[in-house]
Amino acid sequence: MNEIYSIVLLTLKICIISTIISGIFATFLAFYLGLNENKFIKILKIIINAFTSLPPVIAGVFVYILFSKNGIFGKLSWLYTQKVIIIAQILIVTPIICANIYPTVEEIRNSFVETCLGLGISKLKMYRQLLKESAYSLSSALITGFGRAISEVGAVMIVGGNIRYKTRVLTSAIVLENNKGNYSMSIKLGIILMLISFGISIFAMIFSRRNDDKNKKTTSWNL
């Protein structure tokens, strides 16, 4: 039972850290994509959208090459550690979060920016308000990103090594126990992962309904 607790806590720790870091990178990138429009931005959007369907195994192999002994960052000795798992998850999750945010920024860009400039609002305040307006999309994107991170197995096993109490997370533990023939343990871990996934989905639904209710109230007041 202690091992299960360790696996669950380690999984949540790694996924939360990678989602937060990915969210920061993705938000800045999404605002840059949403507030600007030129050929370079169009190409960048295509690349971001392409990376949303990047096979996790490819991301794992890429990170493995970078942090292997002969890799660029081999001297750091981060391979088969939690740090490199987080890096792999960031590579996978960041495009997903970004792709969910920048369309919202694009939608409110023209009218919002013109209004702010017309009122003489500073760029800093404008960006703060824009962040508030995009809060729902950002929150939804973070939830989606977390769900993607916690369900990842391919890249995690390649760069993490599935080391007990160090890099063994829920998905890699399920694969290991299943291969060992310990089906009762793999089922227990699978149920825990499923419950966490359901919890994320329920939270997303509740958040979505509250946001819809808030928008309806705002619309009714405006009318």
Domain boundaries of the chain, sorted by first residue? 2-169
- pLDDT tens-place string over residues 124-178: 887 888 888 788 888 889 999 999 999 999 999 999 999 999 999 999 999 999 9
Q: Above 50 in pLDDT, residue 189?
A: yes
* Banded model confidence at residue 200, pLDDT cuts 50, 70, 90: confident
What confidence score (pLDDT) does residue 65 get?
Answer: 96
- Evaluate if residue 208 carries a pLDDT over 70: no
Cα–chain center distance at 213: 26
The SS3 call for residue 47 is helix
Residue 213 has pLDDT above 80, yes or no: no
Q: Are 149 and 15 in contact (CB under 8 A)?
A: yes
* pLDDT at residue 170 in the model: 96
The radius of gyration of the chain's CA atoms, rounded to the nearest angstrom, is: 20
Q: Say what the pTM is.
A: 0.88
Q: How remote is the C-alpha of 94 from its chain's centroid?
A: 6
With a cut of 70, say whether residue 196 has pLDDT above it: yes
Lowest-confidence region among 4-18, 22-36, 109-123 = 109-123
> What is the rounded distance in angstroms from the CA atom of residue 94 to the CA atom of residue 158?
19
Higher-pLDDT residue of 115, 186:
186
pLDDT for 2 equals: 85
Q: What is the pLDDT of residue 59?
A: 94
22-31, 101-110, 208-217: which is most confident: 22-31
pLDDT of residue 222: 43
Cβ partners under 8 Å of residue 168, min gap 6: 7, 10, 160, 162, 176
Lowest mean pLDDT among 101-105, 197-201, 204-208, 219-223: 219-223
Cα–Cα distance, 82 to 159 (Å, whole number): 9
CATH T-level assignment (fold) for domain 2-169:
MetI-like fold (1.10.3720)
